[in-house]
A and B are shown apart, each in its own frame.
Chain A
Amino acid sequence: MQVSQYIIEITYLVATALFILSLKWMSSPSTARHGVWAGELGMVLAIAGTLLNHGIVDYKWIAIALVLGTIIGVPLGMVQMTAVPQRTALSHAFGALCVTLVGTAEFYLRGSDVSRFTMSVLCMEVILGSLTFTGSLMAAGKLQEVLPQRPITYKGQNIVNLGVLAIAIGLAAFVVMHPGHTHVFPFIVGIPLLFGVLMIIPIGGADMPTVISLLNSYAGLSAAAMGFVLDSKLLIVAGALDGASGFILSLNMSKAMNRSFSNVLFGAFGQEQPGGAAGQETRSVRSATAEEAAAILSAASRVVIVPGYGLAVAQAQHKVRELYDALTKRGVDVKFGIHPVAGRMPGHMNVLLAEADIPYDKLLDLDEINGEFPQTDVALVIGANDVTNPAARTDHSSPIYGMPILDVDKARTVMVIKRGMSPGFAGIDNPLYYLDQTLMLFGDAKSFVGAIVRELGSAAQDQPR
């Protein structure tokens, strides 16, 4: 091995260590930014090391592509915080695209001159890569609302989907066995592209956190497969870390919805609600004005705010921050209860609230906050629905029965800001709204919270403390 080859290998080794450190530092918000720096340093080292490689005879296209990638990357890094889920889905698509293209090129360069093992990982690389590519594009489209968010289902859908995937895997097995048949390869890339589209069609908005995590895992695994093909340990480690991360997040998400992976992927949620809805129209709800809500909030000593996707849609996070300030100033203890699947991707709500400058130690997880609801004076639900539905605890016939929920109904008073009485994404009626201690605050989340803040402000002027 030449000296420069050693240097390259060492940069890869250091980069690998930095990547692991980078994820380790993500464990706490106080060290997390070091994690980003470690990751950046590792990336720069690895790319610089690669550019030293003797196999590189032409730098022109590399340079053009690096510059072009940077030009595209910067705006993708500057999107609004509410758009982070679709940006993430898009970047999964880009990662998968890279892996698929490299895999395809490697296939045609090496021809049949590879071992069976290499050929099988190469097929795995392009299958995972191309289904992740179109799947992520579809997910991004649904999140950006360019595509309809409602799940689209038809009879025999799962059989069709699995059949399509099975054909691709069958063809891959054929190529592994008979490496000469290169004409099959376009189908091994093309069919999973179709499968990626079909896979996301039946998935609705509420399932996005799980699906994004799963696509994240696939993107990682395809990169790891690419590492096997190129015999690059760095790539294998990075891919394995990404795959593990996506896998853990998808497990978390499906646990938070009390559903299995296969159920998320193969059982479109709540497209039909047999019965249930009938007879509930007669039940009455109590509604309140912003003035009444402000009076109740200012009399409380402990308030828990439960945000959901509706808060992101209404861009209400800054108004919520004003409410937090106004109440904290009056000595009210305000916390936030955040369900793992609130929003459109894991941790989405935390980012939005952190953006509005709400200290992160006030943002509590499901397990941390649930014990506090019985001592809570007011639970204020903003744009969340299914994650507060007590039917998940009590009603065996409910489609969400068994899903861990935020026990807001145990608070002394529950206030729900909501546009109207329409059910949530899962299409399930929420008995919470008909409870005696529940007050419905009908209106847009942003303007209603704004109105409460104004009421609190004027009340404070009337009776200075």
Chain B
Amino acid sequence: MKFDLMTDLYVFMLAAFIGFEVIRRVSPLLHTPLMSLTNALDAIAVVGAILLVGAHKSTFSTVLGTIAIVAATSNVVGGFLITDRMLKMFKSSRTKKS
């Protein structure tokens, strides 16, 4: 158990470093779609909510979990949808003329 925690901490640290390096390279042009994309990815928390509801341990946990799935799924669907809509609009003057 203790070693699992350490592994998780290592994973968190490495992911944070990767995050910093990758996101620093994102052009300021795309900061709005970046935020909506990370928002959609963050909604992966839906996985935790699905396990909670599926286990059906108590009515209380199922109710909370169901609301949580609704909230996260709306982020997944809405987040990817709007990010793609925004990115579709970005065109360079070169591609436009061709």
Contacts and interface: CB of A to CB of B under 8 A. Distances in A.
B69 to A, nearest CB: 4
B44 to A, nearest CB: 4
A204 interface: no
A300 interface: no
Interface string B37-77: 11111111111111111111110111011111111111111
Contacts of B91: 354, 357, 359-360
Contacts of B35: 88, 212-213, 216, 245-246, 249, 345-347
B19 A244 contact: yes
Contacts of B90: 29, 32, 350, 354, 360
The residue among B40, B58, B96 with the most chain A CB atoms within 10 A of its own CB is B40
Interface string B1-35: 10011011001100110111011111111111111
Contacts of B15: 236-237, 240-241, 244
Given A345-B35, A347-B32, A359-B96, A69 B41 contact: no
A24 B82 contact: no
Interface size grouping (class) on chain A: 35 or more
A87 B19 contact: no
Contacts of B92: 29-30, 359-361
Given A350-B30, A361-B92, A102 B40 contact: no
A73 B75 contact: yes
B90 to A, nearest CB: 4
B42 A223 contact: yes
A56 B78 contact: no
A347 B93 contact: no
Interface string A36-61: 10011011001100110101111101
A281 to B, nearest CB: 38
A55 B61 CA distance: 15
A135 to B, nearest CB: 15
Contact of B82 (A28, A79, A230): A79
Given A26-B26, A98-B68, A102-B65, A232 B79 contact: no
Contacts of A240: 12, 15-16, 19
A351 B32 contact: yes
B48 A230 contact: yes
A97 B68 contact: yes
Contact of A40 (B25, B52, B62, B80): B80
A236 B24 contact: no
Contacts of A46: 44, 47
Interface string A160-182: 00000000000000000000000
Nearest to A12: B47
A345 to B, nearest CB: 6
The residue among B15, B22, B44, B68 with the most chain A CB atoms within 10 A of its own CB is B44
A1 interface: no
A23 B37 contact: yes
Nearest to B78: A76
A244 B39 contact: no
A65 B29 contact: no
Contacts of A47: 46-47, 50
Given A36-B37, A109-B57, A347-B32, A27 B26 contact: yes
Contacts of B57: 109
Contacts of B30: 26, 29, 32, 347, 350
B88 to A, nearest CB: 7
A53 B54 CA distance: 9
B51 A65 contact: no
A72 B67 contact: no
A197 interface: no
B39 A216 contact: yes
Given A26-B33, A27-B22, A78-B85, 6 more contacts: A77-B80, A78-B82, A87-B78, A237-B11, A238-B41, A340-B28
Interface of A: 15, 19-20, 22-24, 26-30, 32-33, 35-36, 39-40, 42-43, 46-47, 50-51, 53, 55-59, 61-62, 64-66, 68-70, 72-79, 81, 84, 87-88, 91-92, 94-95, 97-99, 101-102, 104-106, 108-109, 115, 117, 212-213, 216, 219-220, 223-224, 226-228, 230-246, 248-249, 252, 338, 340, 345-348, 350-351, 354-355, 357, 359-363, 365
10 contacts: A55-B55, A68-B73, A87-B78, A95-B39, A213-B35, A228-B12, A241-B15, A243-B19, A347-B31, A360-B90
What 4 A-B pairs come out closest when comparing CB atoms?
Answer: A69-B73, A77-B81, A73-B77, A244-B19
